[in-house]
Amino acid sequence: MRIGVNALFLIPNEVGGSETILRETLQAMVAMQPSVEFCLFTHQDNHDSLQNQFGKYPNVTFSKLSFHATNRYVRIIREQTELPIRAYQAKVDILWSPGYTAPLYAHCPQIVTILDMQYKRFPEDLNFLSRLVTHFLVISASRQCEIIITLSEFSKREIVQFLDVPPTKVAVSSCGVSPLFQSEHQKKIHPTVQSVLQSQKPYILCVANSYPHKDLPCLVSAFKRLLSQISHQLILVGQPRLGEPMLKRACEEIPNNRYRRVPFLSQQDLLPLYRRADVFVLPSRYEGFGLPILEAMSAGVPVLTTRCASIPEVGGDCVGYFQENNDQDLAHHLQVLLEMEPAERHAMIDQARRRAELFTWKLAAKEVLKCCEQVAKKDCLK
């Protein structure tokens, strides 16, 4: 079997959790099935990065398209026109598109991964034109592809509802977490992270880009309520997005020495920040999965989050919850976690780590490979 992987959506360090999901799932797939061939379709912005990661595997080849994906509309056009030709030339048996969209036509059966329906639930996260284009491409992919893969049972229900597809067409392949998150050793620490750690100040951590649905202003407001009662800093890791103006206004109410904005950090660079945090908070009102929650659980940090969307599927009863978009309730539960007795804190951490061990990239890879095998078998019977 020869699987084509449409990596044209991937701009390194820009597309959030979908980059981690592709890299980790694909690496597990490649290592797990050396007899299966993979052809990665790349572009000028991600080719070197993907070749560095996957070039060592003898069952992986590359087909590089000569364009820059930072212009989304150029990427869409090339995905619809040149990618089907490249897939035909590469003689792939199946084309897997892990980034929401897929060609409207291909010579072979297709599978698409749709992580969630955020653009429908929170349309304010995108401008009007982006919403129209996204909906057209996503609904087209849902019709063209044999199987839709998503990350949670919640997202499966959302896809069935919004895209009007039968539940049998949607498969769930959850995320995993790297064993690195349980490691106590760090060879090299990012300078920004090093400066946070060297300050010796306790801190509360949040890892999220500033999309409106992440509701970071709620966290800032809750933190403001506790300023006189705790000595912690608030560390916000993530890229600015459409919710940035609201977040900046909220941060203006906080003394500069009590919070810190940190741009994108790789998983490797995030590790020491997770491990030294007193609490990890994700105030999000919508998640297709909630990968940072799983990472924090694995790293041994008490987690406080909402019960929205897919989050309870990840956190179970091993994390703390607060009422979404309620800074007063968030402040209360945050204070409770910060004042926990050591024995209670250790018990919470141990329970969360055991739950995190249930989620592995190997299991995610097995589900994707299973979908590929189903589609290949169905195609052979035609």
Place of tokens 């694909």: 26
Walk along the chain (382 residues) and give the pLDDT tens digit of each residue. 999 999 999 999 999 899 999 999 999 999 999 999 999 999 999 999 999 999 999 999 999 999 999 999 999 999 999 999 999 999 999 999 999 999 999 999 999 999 999 999 999 888 888 899 999 999 999 999 999 999 999 999 999 999 999 999 999 999 999 888 877 666 678 888 888 888 889 999 999 999 999 999 999 999 999 999 999 999 999 999 999 999 999 999 999 999 999 988 888 889 999 999 999 999 999 999 999 999 999 999 999 999 999 999 999 999 999 999 999 999 999 999 999 999 999 999 999 999 999 999 999 999 999 999 999 987 665 5
φ, ψ at 12 (rounded to 5°): -50, 135
> How many angstroms from the chain centroid is the CA of residue 167?
23
Residue 179 pLDDT: 81
Q: What is the pLDDT of residue 185?
A: 60
pLDDT reported for residue 377: 85
Q: How far apart are CA 247 and CA 378, in angstroms?
A: 49
Asked if residue 84 lies in contact with residue 105, where contact means CB atoms within 8 angstroms, the answer is yes
Instruction: Give kind and range of the element (H or E) at residue 159.
Output: helix 153-163
What is the pLDDT at residue 112?
99
Question: Which residue ranges form the domains of the chain, and what is each CATH number?
Answer: 2-176+361-376 (3.40.50.2000), 179-356 (3.40.50.2000)
What pLDDT is stored for residue 153 in this prediction?
98
Q: How confident is the model at residue 23, as a pLDDT?
A: 97
**Which residues in 104-124 are b (16+ Cβ under 10 Å) and which e?**
bebebbbbbbbbbbbbbebee
Query: Cα–chain-centroid distance for residue 26?
Result: 14
pLDDT recorded at residue 264: 84
Q: How far is CA 288 from the centre of its chain?
A: 8
Check residue 21 and give its pLDDT: 96
- Please report the pLDDT score of residue 379 as a whole number: 64
The pTM score is 0.94
Identify which of 112, 109, 104 has the alpha carbon closest to the alpha carbon of residue 173.
112
Under 8 Å between Cβ of 274 and 280 = yes
Q: Given the structure tokens 């607060």, which residue do they identify?
A: 322
SS3 content of the chain, % helix, strand, coil (to 5): 50, 15, 35
Tokens of 367: 């589900």
Distance between first and last Cα of the chain: 17
